[in-house]
Structure 1
Amino acid sequence: MGYVHEQVGAVAATVSSGVLFYFGTGLTPVAALTWLAPLPVLLLATRAHARTALPAAFLAYLGGTANIWAWSLRSHDLPLLPWGLVVSVCLSATFVLAVALFRRLVLLGHAWLGALAASAVWTGVLYLVTLLNPKGLTDTFATAQADVPVVVQTVSITGSWGLEFLVLLVPAAAAAVLAPTVRRVARIRTGAFILGVTALVLIGGVIRLTSEPIAPQRMAVVSANMHGWAADVGTPAGKALVDSYVHRIAALPSGVRTIVLPEGTFGATEPSPPVLVDRFRALARDRQAVLVVGYAQWAKNAKYNYALVFPADGSAPLRYLKHHDAVSPPGHDLVVHDDTGVEICLDVNFAEPSRDYATAGATRLAVPASDEGDDGWLHSRTALLRGAENGLPVVWGGRQTRQMISDGWGRVVADVPSGVDPSGFTTLVAEVGSGPGPTWYTRLGDWFAWLCLVVSAAGMAVAVRVRR
C-alpha cells in the first residue's frame, strides 16, 4: 500500500470504526453495530505499517468512548476528569494491544491464532480489571448484547467473558480471512472455524431458549420521583415519603409476592427507626409480600448502605449490607429469604455475590439500585447478565433510572424508565417464573477468562519467538 493510500485508508478505518464504536457501545448501544465496529481497523492492520495501524486503532476506540463523556461530565460515579478519560484511554490502549497481536500473528501466517489471541487479550485484560478495580466492570461489548437473548445464553457456560470474546472474535476472524498475506488453505480453515463457532452459539442459544419458566410469581418495583438520597425518616418530609410509599404499595394488584424499592430510599441514624420499620412490617404482613427496601444508616463515623428485607409474616427485617461500595463499609453476608437473594446496585458489576446466591439456593435476585439517569439501561443490563450467568430472574429497582424484571434466561419481561411518571411514582408489575437455576458458570466460575489469559500468553509467545 502506497503512503498516500495508506493514510487515506487509515483515516477511513479510524472514522468508520470510531462511528461504529460510538453507536455500538455506551449508554444506548445498537447491538448489531458492536460486531462490526472493530472490523475496519482490523482490516487496516494487515495492510498498513504498524505506525499507521496502531494509532488508528487507538483513536477509533477513543472516539467511540465519547458516547459516555457528556454523562461522565455530570457523574459522581465516573467523573470525566480524570477517571472518565483514564478509563477511555486504558480501554483504547487495550484495544491497541489486541490489534497489534492480531496484526503480528496474521502477517506471520497464523490467521486463526491471530483472531483467537486478539479476542483473548481483550477479554483477559478486562477480567484482570475486575480483579483490581473497586467499581468492577460495565459498558463492554457483552453488555451491549444484553437485549439479544440468543447470544446471551453463552454466559451460562462461560460467564460474560465468553460473550465479550465472541463479539471481537467474529470481526477478527473475518479480517484474518480477508488479509492479503493469508494463504487460501488458512482462509478456509479460519472461515470454517468461525462459522462453526457462530453456528454452535446460535443453535445452542435457540435450544436453551425453548425452556419455559415454572411457578410464575408476581413481582413489583415501586419508586418515587425523588432526586435526593435517603430521605431522613425523622423529618416531616421523610415521614411523608413513608406515607406515600405505604399508600402506593397498598394499592398494588393482589398476588404480588415481592416488592422492591430503590437503593437509599430512606435513611436515619437509628438502625431500626419505628416510623419506618413498624409501618413496613405491618404493610408486609397485610400484603403477604416480601418488601426489599433501600436504607442508609448514618452512624457516627460511617454510612451503612443496607437493604432491609421485610418478611411477609410481619417479623423483624433482615439486613443486607452492600458488598461493593466506595463509601459504606462493605458487607460479606448473603441474605436469602423466600428463595430471594438480595444485592444492591454496584454489586452486579462483580461476579459475586450473584454466583454465591445461585449456589446458596436462591431462585431470584432482588436488587435495589440508584444510578445517574442516563446510565439506567446500561446498569440494568449488567444485572440482567448476572442473572443469566446463574439462571436467576432479576428484579431491578432503579430510582431515577430504570426499572426492569428479567427471567433466568436473560429475557426482559418488563422494563420502564423510572423517575419521570407525572403521578410522582413509577410502578412496574410483572409475572416471572423460576429460572433454570445454577449453571455451568455458577459451578466453574471464571474458567473462560483464565483460558483467555493462557491463549493470550501463547499468542504472544509465538509472536516473540518468530521475531527472534
Structure 2
Amino acid sequence: MSDLKPVSKALLAGGALFAGICWYLSFSLSAHLWWPLWVAPIPIVYFSLRLTGKWAFLLAFAGYLIGRLSWVPYLLSIMPLPLVLLFTLLLPLIFALQVAAARKLMLTYSHWSTVFAFPVLVTTVEYICFLTTRDGTAGSIAYTQCNFLPVVQVASLTGIQGITFLATFIPAAIALIIYRYQQKQLIGTLCFVTMGVFVAAMVWGIVRLNQTPPAAKSLQVGMATIDERAYHKEYPTGEDKDLYLANLYLARVGTLVKQGAEVVVLPEKMFTVRDNRRPGFIQQLKDTAMAHQVSIVACVSQQKGDYYENRAWVIGKEGTLLADYQKVYLFEGEVLDSVKPGKEPGLFLWKGAPQGVAICKDMDFQQYIRRYGRAACNVLFVPAWDFEQDGWMHSRMAIMRSVEGGFGIVRNARQGRLTINDYCGRVLYEANGDNGAPVMLTGSIDIQHHSTLYNQWGDWFSILNALASLACLVLLVIARLVK
C-alpha cells in the first residue's frame, strides 16, 4: 500500500488526540474558534492513507468522538441520556465511514481529483440531514466559521454547504499533498487546484465585505428582555401573571424610544394569551405603539382551546396590525406541548419596503428562510428563546441566513443573545442575556436588500455534491468488484 515505514501506535494516538482537541475547540459553545476545524482533519486523513481500512475507520471514529464530547453537557440539559448517547456516537460513526470511503477512493484511483471525495461526502450527508431531520441545519459544522467573515461570504453563493465543503476540502488536500510528496508522486496539479479554490473563496469574501453598497436609509431599533425570575414568581391566577409580564415588557418600550428606537423587538413567548383575551392584549400593544410613535414586534404563546400557537404580532406606530405571524418550525418541546405550526412566511410592508418576521427555530431552515430573500426582504425581525448555553451559536445560525438571503437581522432572544447584524454577517451590536438577566440594546441597521446567487439558484451546490457523491459510490463499487 505504501513505501513509507509503518506508523507507530504512539504517533497514531497523538494524531487522534490532536485532531479530537481541535474538533472539541471548534464545536465548543463557548470557545468560538474557527481555525481548529481546518486543522483537525489533516492527521486523520493523512494517517488513513497509511493504514488499513479498519484502522483508518477506528482512528477517525476516536478523534471525532473526542471532538463531539464538547456538546455533551449542553445536550444533557435539553434531551434524555439515551438520545445524547445516540447523537454523540452516531456523528463519529458517520464521519469515520466518510473517511474510510475517501481513503479507498484516493488510494485506489491515485488521481488528484479524488481529493474531492471527502468534502463531497461530508457536504452531501449534511445536506441530506438538512432536508430530513427536525433540526434542519442545526448540526452543520459551517456554523463554527461565523467569526471567519471572508469564508462566511461563500454562503451568499452556495448556502452554508459551501463553507462545509471548504473547511473539509482544504485539510483533506493538505493531507493528500503531504502523502503524495512522501510517496514521490506528482503534486503540482493538486497544489494548483487547492490554492485556486482557497484563493477564489478568499477573494470573493474580501471583495463582498469591502464593496460599497448603494446609499440606504438606516433604521433605529431597540430590544429588551426582562429578568427571567419574573416568570417564576407566584401569582393569584394565570391571567394576573400574563398581565404582569406584559406590563414589564411594555414599560421598557418608552425607555428604548428615548434612546432613539423606531422599532422595538421583544423576545419569544413573552407571555401566554388566552384566545378570549387576545383583542385586549393587541389593543394594549396598539395603544403603546401610538403613545410612543414606535413600531413593536411582540411574540406571545396564544392558547386556542386544547392547543397553542406561537405568534409574533407586528404593530405599526399608527396602531395597525402589520403582521400576525405563526411560527412554522417547532422544536420538540413545543410539539409535545400541543403547539401547532404555521405555514407561511411573515412578510409585510414597512415604509414602503418588504420586511419580515420569523421566530427562533424558523431560522434553522435555510430553504424556508430563502423565501424571505426571494421576496426581497430588507430587514428580518426575529423574536427568539435560547437555552442559555447555546446563545452565541444559535444567534450565529440566524446570522448565516442573512448572508444567504441578503438582508439584515434584528434578533432578540430570551436567555440568549440580542444581536443586530448586516447582510454580510457582521455583528453590528450585541448584548448577552444568556444568564436570564434583564438586557436592553439599541442600534441602527440599513433598510436594504442585496441580491444573492443562493436566493436565485437555491441548493445548486448541494445538488452538485449529491451527484458527485453518487459518482463516488459507483467508483467504490467498481473498486470492490475488480479487487
TM-score range normalised by the length of the shorter chain: over 0.9
Q: What letter is aligned with 1:447?
A: W
Name which of 406, 416, 433 aligns with 2:431. Answer: 416
Pair 1:390-2:401 in alignment: no
Pair 1:331-2:342 in alignment: yes
Equivalent residue number for residue 320 of structure 1: 325
Worse overlay, 11-20 or 99-108: 99-108
- How far apart are the structure 1 equivalents of 2:276 and 2:369? 26
Equivalent residue number for residue 357 of structure 2: 342
Q: TM-score when scaled to structure 2? A: 0.90
Equivalent residue number for residue 401 of structure 1: 416
SS of residue in 2 equivalent to 1:408: coil
Name which of 462, 475, 478 aligns with 1:462. Answer: 475
- Indicate if the aligned counterparts of 2:72 and 2:88 stay in contact, CA closer than 8 A: no
Worse overlay, 267-276 or 201-210: 267-276
Provide closer, same or farther for how the CA distance between residues 435 and 95 of structure 1 changes in structure 2, counting only shifts above 3 A. Answer: farther
Q: Deviations over 1:293-342 (max 9, x none)?
A: 11101222212111111122102363111111142211112222313211
SS of residue in 1 equivalent to 2:410: strand
Equivalent residue number for residue 462 of structure 2: 449
Pair 1:268-2:281 in alignment: no
Q: CA deviation at 1:120?
A: 0.9
SS of residue in 1 equivalent to 2:99: helix
Provide closer, same or farther for how the CA distance between residues 180 and 186 of structure 1 changes in structure 2, counting only shifts above 3 A. Answer: closer
SS of residue in 2 equivalent to 1:31: coil
Pair 1:103-2:103 in alignment: yes
- How far apart are the structure 2 equivalents of 1:47 and 1:412? 43
| 1:16-165 alignment, distance < 5 Å | 16-28=18-30, 29-75=32-78, 79-165=79-165
- Indicate if the aligned counterparts of 1:46 and 1:180 stay in contact, CA closer than 8 A: no
Name which of 265, 285, 289 aligns with 2:290. Answer: 285
Pair 1:236-2:247 in alignment: no
Equivalenced residue count is: 463
Q: Deviations over 1:165-200 (max 9, x none)?
A: 110001000011111488656411111101011101
Name which of 293, 299, 302 aligns with 1:297. Answer: 302
Equivalent residue number for residue 11 of structure 2: 9
Name which of 425, 443, 447 aligns with 2:438. Answer: 425
SS of residue in 1 equivalent to 2:228: coil
Q: Deviations over 1:30-78 (max 9, x none)?
A: 1011111111111111111122111110111111111111111111xxx
CA RMSD between the two structures: 2.4
Equivalent residue number for residue 203 of structure 1: 203
- How far apart are the structure 2 equivalents of 1:186 and 1:238? 71
SS of residue in 2 equivalent to 1:432: strand
- How far apart are the structure 1 equivalents of 2:59 and 2:407? 41
- Indicate if the aligned counterparts of 2:388 and 2:435 stay in contact, CA closer than 8 A: no
Name which of 198, 223, 226 aligns with 1:224. Answer: 226
Worse overlay, 355-364 or 366-375: 355-364
- Indicate if the aligned counterparts of 1:239 and 1:275 stay in contact, CA closer than 8 A: no
SS of residue in 2 equivalent to 1:430: strand
Q: What letter is aligned with 2:17?
A: V
Name which of 345, 352, 371 aligns with 2:386. Answer: 371
- How far apart are the structure 2 equivalents of 1:275 and 1:226? 24
Equivalent residue number for residue 252 of structure 2: 248
User: Quick one: percent identity of the two aligned structures?
Assistant: 27
Q: Deviations over 1:86-145 (max 9, x none)?
A: 222222122112211221122125353332111011111111111111121224321011
